[in-house]
Amino acid sequence: MTTLPGPEPARPRATMRDVAALAGVSLKTVSRVVNGEPGVSTDLVERVERAAVQLDFRPNLGARSLRRSDGRTATVGLVLENLANPFSAALLRAVEDVATTRGVAVLAGSIDRADERERQLVAAFASRRVDGLVVMPTAADQSYLMLERRAGMSLVFVDRPPHGLAADTVVASNTAGAREGTEHLIAAGHRAIAFLSDVSGISTGQDRRQGFVDAMAAAGRSYRREHLVTGLTTMAEAEAATAALLGSEHPPTALFTAQNLVTIGAVRALRAAGLQHQVALVGFDDVLLADLLEPGITVVAQDPTSIGHLAAQRLFARIDGDTSPYVLEVVATRLVPRGSGEIAPSQSV
């Protein structure tokens, strides 16, 4: 910890008034130039621009938004599960890319599975008058957002649909993807397949479980109750649950893990038991380095970048006044075989 000199004296920000005074024009002319409105002589445009640069003028978007008839702030909010999770981070990045092309800034926040945080974040962003919100719904009910939408805030949901409210939503093909992943394990000859997922109250987990159940039923496979594990909120819990399954009286010969952290937890447990080459595994959502493990982890990959791009495009269409019916967009998942999902059932079971 090294020290350096401290802050220098303050100098207040220049306003349009200051710029006008320096350029020798009226306030309104500055406003016209700053907003690129037509009908200002090139001479004045130049004088104003020079004055603006000289004073390091930054238009006050808060004041603009306050006065404008549409009230736009050129800011949108992102309410995601956890900004540190690779899936959320990729989503944020994708929304940012679209927003940037429109001069829109992005506020972001993490819910962390705490229902009240979702409402707190929405309230915080609403107080800042964001033009729109991209939400990964986590609370049991999103009908409270109807009021915000009526007040002019556009809404798009990602990863899973909202409850108690109709709205544009962009999701991955959860059920179909989970079905495909499960079928892949069935095709490899497995009968005892366990399903592990995160919080069950969230529809992605439910949809993926449905896909698993559908595939098992279609193949005429039954499964044990205890092979259906939900509510795994951390990687450590997933690891422990997997270890318990592997050590149980009727261990599964294959695992389907429904979320990225659950997948990693399961891999750790398999390694710890030395079973990574005996027990098959297919995970939902891809992970960096998954292809370099031995065996590589077979996954049903999502496309968070596409989901984010589509969500942002929907959002800005609404902000621009699109009043067409709400749509549910489903982004295809893709099965990526890498080894772990192609392991045949071990003879010992």
Q: Which residues bind DNA (CB under 7 A)?
A: 12-13, 15-17, 25-29, 31-32, 34-35, 39-41, 43-44, 59-60, 63-64, 66-70
Contact by Cβ (8 Å): 125, 77: yes
Q: Which does 129 bind (CB under 5 to 8 A by kind): its own copies, DNA, none?
A: its own copies
Handedness of CA 197, 200, 204, 209 (dihedral sign): positive
CB of 234 to its own copies, least distance (A): 14
**Is there binding between residue 36 and its own copies (CB under 8 A)?**
no
CB of 338 to its own copies, least distance (A): 13
CB of 268 to its own copies, least distance (A): 7
Q: How are beta strands 334-336 and 298-301 bridged, if at all?
A: antiparallel
Select from 110, 138, 230, 259 the one that contacts its own copies (CB under 8 A): 110
DSSP SS3 for 189: coil
Stretch that binds its own copies, among 37-45, 202-210, 316-324, 339-347 (CB under 8 A): 316-324
**Is there binding between residue 101 and its own copies (CB under 8 A)?**
no
Beta partners for residue 109, in sequence order? 79
**Alpha-carbon radius of gyration of the chain:** 26
Residues 219-238 interacting with its own copies (rule: CB under 8 A)? none
- CA gap 250, 303 in Å, rounded: 35
- CA gap 179, 280 in Å, rounded: 16
Select from 72, 113, 119, 149 the one that contacts its own copies (CB under 8 A): 149
CB of 205 to its own copies, least distance (A): 21
Q: 174: Cβ–Cβ under 8 A, 6 or more apart, which residues?
A: 160, 203, 204, 207, 208, 211, 284, 333
Select from 146, 176, 228, 336 the one that contacts its own copies (CB under 8 A): 146
**Is there binding between residue 318 and its own copies (CB under 8 A)?**
yes
52 or 282, CB closer to DNA?
A: 52
The number of CA neighbours under 13 Å toward the Cβ of 196 is 33
Compute how many residues bind its own copies; rule: CB under 8 A. 76
**Is there binding between residue 240 and its own copies (CB under 8 A)?**
no
29 or 259, CB closer to DNA?
A: 29
CB of 68 to DNA, least distance (A): 4
Select from 44, 107, 176, 275 the one that contacts its own copies (CB under 8 A): 107
Cα–Cα distances in Å, from 204 out to 48, 74, 167? 54, 31, 17
CB of 102 to DNA, least distance (A): 16
What is the edge-to-edge ordering of all strands in the sheet holding 254-257? 228-229, 193-196, 254-257, 280-284, 298-301, 334-336
Q: Which does 201 bind (CB under 5 to 8 A by kind): DNA, its own copies, none?
A: none
- CA gap 8, 175 in Å, rounded: 59
Q: Which does 5 bind (CB under 5 to 8 A by kind): its own copies, DNA, none?
A: its own copies
**Omega within 30 of 0 (cis) for the link into 295:** yes
Stretch that binds its own copies, among 79-87, 172-180, 182-190, 217-225 (CB under 8 A): 79-87
Residues 266-305 interacting with its own copies (rule: CB under 8 A)? 267-268, 271, 287-290, 292-294
- CA gap 109, 80 in Å, rounded: 6
Q: Which does 249 bind (CB under 5 to 8 A by kind): DNA, its own copies, none?
A: none
Select from 126, 240, 273, 317 the one that contacts its own copies (CB under 8 A): 126
- CA gap 299, 259 in Å, rounded: 10
**Is there binding between residue 217 and its own copies (CB under 8 A)?**
no
Contact by Cβ (8 Å): 197, 223: no
How many other CB atoms are found less than 10 A from the CB of residue 349?
A: 13
